Structure 1
């Protein structure tokens, strides 16, 4: 027999407090009866104290969750290793979606973290370069803090080099010897790059992608020192209009047997990624030891309630007799 919730030991202070109060009440009661020269049996009151204290102690034991080990076994934990590749290029500031592309992308990733179960997820922001911001983990609770920290100033340059992020993700997959390599690219697209396509094919990476933005596009706000300072211009001095370039993302997802989704104010099917990822082959992630216990708290709780009831009933009877 062992206890599963030893942190509840402090509850045993309650029976001690009750005992002190009732003992003080008994002494005071006896003094009053002695002053009035009334004889009353002390055994009934003492029995009432015993019942109430015993009942309180049994309930406190129930709160400790007494249990007995029945079985221990090793279970194979299955899931996917998934890296989210988040585009932090300057074009992600375009406001053709609300409030802008990068904030919508962050909201999508947060929703994925809330809904996904059993998989290991990591985050790799990319622009002119890339790095692992959050390594592969099953602790989704820490993910929101990392996602909140993502912005277009995270990586200098402002370009869109997916290849760097893919290489970093692949190195991580190789290090843990992942059977299946899955990445989710959240981006407004980019120009077709043959080396990216070849790298995905050669390393057997399954690419899911979410295109954030619209085909109509929008100008890109230019921020300096946190303040909006007009719009981004090209070398000729003309204001740049950034459009969703989904053709490359679609091609990348198709050739790697992944899927493409789109997210904007009028159409957002990114939530389908959750259901789609559940249907692909799962890796064997870890061996986990499962322990099975039989719980006995209910017996102590029942006995405790019975003794408290008897103490309460005896208390009522003593008052009636007096």
Structure 2
């Protein structure tokens, strides 16, 4: 039959029975049918991935800022060396909350627990001697650190205490503080910083200027060892800057953040893509057959 309103129009258009075209449309229908059959089988594609779960550690660095920390047996001096290795320790941690407590005659929080290490490093850089009345209140420093950790929900809670002397100020005994830490599940790593014997200590003389006087190094290693033992941690002695670096590296190795990796495969249905493609092919073939590729008998 003709699909034109009059015969003259049909005569002006040349039509040929084009068997290759018919074969193409037949092939399209077969291909579309194959897609539908595959779609009915509901094939799926899988994407593999990994889920990483981290369990961070809560750490409070507890630093002695008494005037004796100006001694220069650990270069450039004890307090600056302690700040430098603490900064390196902070930069090397991942996923942990870290805080900073300082103590002399009393203890107070310089920076609460945070994962913003840039802020923490700024607070650390501002630490110096003379910001608190002089003395060495180890128990008070520990109490301030424990107060920051006692409500923590972290799996591991750690205090790293660095001092160059023995407890001579404050209302809280260091061993009592250690018992409290153990009750809260807190480990206390203790570090005694200073050479053995005597160390040069700077004195600013109004007449002769700065001069150095020998100062006896008197670290209460027995108490520091007991604090570590009570809380199932370790005591370290640093007599120079290199040893101090190695101690912090050792603690870093012992207190690693737990990282759990789970592999998974996420599947997606291909049915809709295949069925959609088949329907588009069938519809397209029908439209083209009924319009552009008409065949006049």
Q: Which of 274, 294, 307 is equivalent to 2:252?
A: 274
Residue 224 of structure 1 and its aligned partner are, at CA, apart by: 8.0
Aligned to 1:235: none
The two structures, once aligned, show a CA RMSD in angstroms of: 3.4
Q: Does 1:246 align with 2:227?
A: no
The reply to whether residue 104 of structure 1 matches residue 81 of structure 2 is yes
Residues 133-185 of structure 1 deviation map (CA, whole Å, 9 limit, x = unaligned): 11111121222211111111121x21111222222222222344445431001
Segments of 5+ residues of structure 1 without an aligned counterpart are 1-69, 233-238, 284-291, 293-322
Other structure's SS at 2:108 match: coil
1:206 aligns with 2:187: yes
| Shift in alpha-carbon separation, 1:172–1:195, aligned structure 2, 3 A | same
In the alignment, which residue of structure 2 is the partner of 1:217?
A: 198
The answer to whether the Cα contact below 8 Å between 2:139 and 2:175 also exists between their aligned partners in 1 is no
Match of 2:6 in 1: none
2:230 aligned partner: 255
Which of 85, 94, 99 is the equivalent residue of 2:71? 94
What is the TM-score normalised by the length of structure 2?
A: 0.59
TM-score, L = length of structure 1: 0.55
2:99 is aligned with 1:122: yes
**SS in structure 2 opposite 1:275?**
helix
- The structure-2 alpha-carbon separation of the partners of 1:223 and 1:81, relative to structure 1 and needing over 3 Å to count, comes to farther
On the 8 A contact 1:86/1:126 being kept in 2, the answer is yes
Distance 1:184 1:190 in 2: 16
Count of matched residue positions in the alignment of Structure 1 and Structure 2? 206
Matches for 1:55-70 after TM superposition, within 5 Å = none
Q: Which deviations, in whole Å up to 9, do the C-alpha atoms of 1:257-299 show, x marking residues without a partner?
A: 11223333363421211111117xx69xxxxxxxx9xxxxxxx
